């Protein structure tokens, strides 16, 4: 096999960057034997060249981006994250005809089309496998493996931090803030973890996947986003008693000329394919017209899984240097669906008669009640609650009822209304 050298300039040496350096050192011989590509990381951009980075050669480090981009590399890997300076450095790399590999979901969700267009104009390639679901090759599956399908829907667990927090709260009864601190210590959480727990990270990933799956442009504001910060240990326990687990789910559906995208916590039946996805793992359930349902699952965050995805793009670009099309595809209507289904509702209250007032409002609005219970706190620090599991009903009717109940004055504080997925 003829061996070709590929010089890689690396922008950023955080969790994923260090993982990439480690993986290239560990597996470059294997990659050469398999593909004929001899990889070399030639320069690494860092903020502080004096910082200790075990396993990273100090003489490769620089604080000057031009020494990475303009210094004879064939391909630039951007692992800085965020919008600027990542966008400017990617644009600079493309303008100098460098292939680019990035894990930057925030930037792709905001401005992916113009970056793809710039790559197409320069006749270079843009790889972004690591931007969604860490080590799971879901981008490649949608672009290549499933290209012969019409994709009808995607449903998945796209945020490792939320899944880690919910798993620790469910299995080990760990407090929300402690579980978040663990996810931060393990390096899954974003620098600003509100992006994880309020659902924006999952929304960015869902937008990237939906654009590939439906070959359509998705406006950012088309994604309905809810996070997990209001979920309590009591909600998790109540869900368990009803046979459900609470998961943070991203869902996209396309039907005719319409698509809908939502990110929110839901109650899943214990036997659902996504219910058993634990810790920082991610999963995506894809439904295509030819393949039916397929599940992709694995590590969605972390140093080496994300580095594995980056490396897959690097090697793929080295082996097949054709351009990617930046075609934006069709324009579909996006709508916030008035979805229907069962709902789990929890209201903080201070008076036992509140259960009658709450169920009366729900029934008056046409919502059937499968179960209702008043749960009285065992300690002074806990909260008295009314919990309701509804029959199938429209989400909009639930929202109207929540407003009516809030206006009636029986609710004392922040409640919750979670969808139940069967």
- Tally of CB atoms within 10 A around 28: 16
205 carries an active-site annotation = yes
Give CA–CA dist 215/418, Å, rounded. Answer: 30
Pairing mode, if any, of strands 343-348 and 369-375? unpaired
- Does residue 190 bind ligand HSE (CB under 6 A)? yes
Size of the site for ligand HSE (CB under 6 A): 11
Site residues for ligand HSE, 83-142, by CB under 6 A, read 134
Which C-beta is closer to ligand HSE: that of 285 or that of 417? 285
Residue 44 tokens read as 């690494």
Which C-beta is closer to ligand HSE: that of 250 or that of 367? 250
Which C-beta is closer to ligand HSE: that of 135 or that of 288? 135
- Does residue 244 bind ligand HSE (CB under 6 A)? no
Least distance in Å: CB of 163 to ligand HSE?
8
- Does residue 204 bind ligand HSE (CB under 6 A)? no
Give CA–CA dist 376/385, Å, rounded. Answer: 6
x/- letters, 151..170, toward ligand HSE (CB under 6 A): --------xxx---------
Using DSSP, state whether 57 is helix, strand or coil.
Answer: coil
Pairing mode, if any, of strands 223-225 and 292-299? unpaired
Distances (CA, A) of 56 to 30, 108, 117, 242, 243: 20, 28, 34, 51, 49
Give CA–CA dist 247/236, Å, rounded. Answer: 10
Distances (CA, A) of 206 to 202, 209, 220: 6, 5, 10
- Does residue 301 bind ligand HSE (CB under 6 A)? yes
Which C-beta is closer to ligand HSE: that of 196 or that of 313? 196
Residue 251 tokens read as 């869902």
- Does residue 189 bind ligand HSE (CB under 6 A)? yes
**Choices 2-10, 184-192, 224-232, 251-259; region in contact with ligand HSE by CB under 6 A:** 184-192
Pairing mode, if any, of strands 75-78 and 151-157? unpaired
Pairing mode, if any, of strands 258-269 and 333-334? parallel
**Choices 58-66, 182-190, 243-251, 372-380; region in contact with ligand HSE by CB under 6 A:** 182-190
Using DSSP, state whether 283 is helix, strand or coil.
Answer: strand
User: Measured on CA atoms in the order 214, 215, 221, 225, is the torsion positive or negative?
Assistant: positive
Sole binder of ligand HSE in the list 201, 253, 313, 316 (CB under 6 A): 201
What one-character-per-residue DSSP string does 54-107 give? TTS-GGGEES-HHHHHTSS-SEEEE---SSTTHHHHHHHHHHTT-EEEE--HHH
Least distance in Å: CB of 300 to ligand HSE?
5
- Does residue 344 bind ligand HSE (CB under 6 A)? no
Give CA–CA dist 386/367, Å, rounded. Answer: 16
Which C-beta is closer to ligand HSE: that of 203 or that of 354? 203
Least distance in Å: CB of 178 to ligand HSE?
17
Least distance in Å: CB of 266 to ligand HSE?
18
- Does residue 300 bind ligand HSE (CB under 6 A)? yes
Least distance in Å: CB of 160 to ligand HSE?
3
Least distance in Å: CB of 229 to ligand HSE?
14
Least distance in Å: CB of 41 to ligand HSE?
22
Given the residues 98, 205, 207, 342, select the one marked as catalytic.
205
Give CA–CA dist 298/243, Å, rounded. Answer: 25
- Tally of CB atoms within 10 A around 179: 20
Name the site residues for ligand HSE (rule: CB under 6 A): 134, 159-161, 188-190, 196, 201, 300-301
Q: Which amino acids are annotated catalytic?
A: 205
């Amino acid at each position: 096999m003829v061996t070709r050298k590929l010089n890689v300039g690396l922008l950023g040496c955080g969790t994923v960057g260090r993982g990439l350096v480690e993986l290239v050192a560990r597996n470059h011989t294997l990659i050469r034997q398999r593909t004929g590509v001899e990889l070399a990381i030639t320069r690494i951009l860092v903020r502080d060249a004096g910082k200790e980075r075990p396993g990273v050669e100090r003489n490769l480090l620089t604080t000057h981006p031009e020494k990475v981009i303009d210094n004879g590399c064939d391909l630039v890997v951007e692992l800085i994250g965020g919008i600027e300076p990542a966008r400017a450095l990617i644009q600079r790399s493309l303008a100098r005809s460098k292939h680019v590999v990035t894990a930057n979901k925030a930037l792709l969700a905001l401005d992916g089309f113009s970056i793809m267009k710039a790559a197409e104009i320069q006749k270079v390639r843009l790889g972004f496998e690591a931007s969604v679901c860490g080590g799971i090759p879901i981008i490649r599956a949608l672009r290549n493996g499933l290209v012969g399908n019409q994709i009808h829907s995607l449903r998945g667990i796209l945020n490792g931090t939320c899944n880690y927090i919910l798993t620790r709260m469910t299995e080990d009864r760990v407090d929300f803030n402690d579980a978040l601190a663990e996810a931060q210590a393990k390096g899954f959480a974003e620098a600003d973890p509100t992006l994880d727990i309020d659902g924006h990270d999952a929304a960015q990933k869902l937008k990237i996947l939906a654009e590939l799956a439906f070959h359509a442009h998705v406006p950012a504001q088309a994604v309905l986003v809810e996070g997990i910060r209001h979920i309590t240990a009591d909600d998790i326990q109540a869900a368990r008693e009803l046979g459900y687990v609470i998961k943070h789910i991203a869902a996209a559906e396309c039907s005719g000329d319409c698509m809908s995208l939502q990110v929110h916590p839901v109650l899943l039946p214990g036997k659902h394919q996504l219910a058993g996805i634990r810790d920082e793992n991610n999963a995506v359930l894809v439904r295509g017209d030819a393949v039916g349902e397929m599940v992709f699952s694995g590590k969605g965050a972390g140093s080496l899984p994300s580095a594995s995805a980056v490396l897959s793009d690097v090697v793929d670009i080295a082996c097949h240097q054709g351009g990617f099309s930046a075609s934006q595809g069709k324009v579909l209507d996006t709508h916030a669906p008035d979805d229907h289904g069962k709902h789990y509702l929890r209201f903080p209250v201070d008076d036992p008669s509140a259960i009658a007032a709450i169920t009366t409002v729900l029934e008056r609005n046409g919502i059937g009640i499968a179960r209702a219970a008043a749960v009285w706190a065992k300690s002074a620090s806990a909260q008295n609650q009314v919990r309701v599991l509804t029959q199938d009903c429209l989400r909009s009717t639930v929202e109207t009822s929540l407003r009516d109940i809030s206006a009636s004055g029986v609710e004392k504080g922040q409640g919750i209304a979670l969808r139940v997925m069967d």
